[in-house]
Amino acid sequence: MRLGPYELPNNLFVAPMAGVTDRPFRVLARRLGAGHAVSEMVTSRRELWQSLKTSRRADHTGEPGPIAVQIAGTDAAMMAEAAAYNIDRGAQIIDINMGCPAKKVCNVYAGSALMRDEPLALGIVEAVVAVCAPRGVPVTLKMRTGWCAAERNALRIARAAESAGVAMVAVHGRTREQGYGGCAEYDTVAAVKAALRIPVVANGDIDSPEKARDVLAATGADALMIGRAAQGRPWIFREIAHFLATGQRLLPPLTREVRAWLLEYLQDHYALYGEATGVRSARKHIGWALRALPDGERFRAEMNTLDTCDAQWRAVADWFDALADVHERLPLARTPAANDDDMQLTA
């Protein structure tokens, strides 16, 4: 899989998720099989670039390349300036956010709200490409199928973006109106893929190796972008890669492997966020890792009362030690059907 001058290890990408895909999460996902990871969105407002939140989001220390940064905003000149600023800080790929459905983003006409104003959306794309192209930095675009069911205009915007010089387009198979409700549809993704020469990425509801196979078949997409299914389960990337290559599912990871991954992640997380913020923001990541495990909800409630990083880390370590004494491998969230050939498990 190529993206501009970069050869990516595979076609399985981590979706940019605000408050989730920080540097520690991206590093872990790549280690566990993701071929590409895009940062959580960085604002185009200059006055916020030095804020603590933005500086953390723009932290790429020790991150393997290519480093992809997503920028968000509503003004073409400001977006171009933000692209240049992030390139100076190490970004090797710039991604434009036209997919975020959050109200606080859409209320200022950024994110997926840009799809309601096609001239503005194209103006932003052109301005960002004009800054990035002379530096050899590819520009990618993440969007939805449209604002609502009556305004599915992803195909028009994707064609215009390709003509303006965008190197890749990712399409989440929902409108902004849907948020994350209902089911993603892939016909729009397939139409975009059929119309474009540049790579097209399918996103939305890809939560298993079988679903990954089916979405690739339905859309003809060049790559898959996985978001919520990787929360608490970052090894999904290696599971999908193995299944697509062999037609068989991997065995669940060893419980002690998961323990080691999570504890290493937590140390990286604490180092980025510090004591007070780190212990609080880590709770959701630990909760995601526990949600499908035996007695996980009870422990999560107990863990959420701890207010130091050391106490939290030690509690997680001890809990997974106890789990590993009972389950060598992480307990499966679902049991394979007896006649499901696709669910054969391999070590």
Region for 262 from its dihedrals, namely left if φ exceeds 0, alpha if ψ lies in -120 to 50, beta otherwise: alpha
12-14 and 6-7: which strand pairing?
A: unpaired
d(CA 245, CA 224): 15
Within its chain, how far is the Cα of 83 from the centroid?
Answer: 19
Residues 347, 345: Cα–Cα separation, whole Å: 7
Residue 295 near residue 221, CB atoms below 8 Å: no
CA atoms within 13 A of residue 75's CA, in its CB half-sphere = 8
DSSP E strands, the chain: 2-3, 6-7, 12-14, 36-37, 42-43, 68-72, 93-98, 139-146, 168-175, 200-203, 223-226, 249-250, 345-346
Q: Which residues pair with 2 in a beta bridge?
A: 7
DSSP 260-285: HHHHHHHHHHHHHHHHHHHHHHHHHH
Contacts of residue 312, Cβ cutoff 8 Å, sequence gap at least 6: 266, 279, 282, 283, 286, 303, 306
Query: Catalytic residue among 100, 106, 132, 309, which?
Result: 100
- Is 100 known to be catalytic? yes
* Residue pair 183/215 in contact by the 8 Å Cβ criterion: no
CB atoms within 10 A of CB 48: 12
Q: Just list the catalytic residues.
A: 100
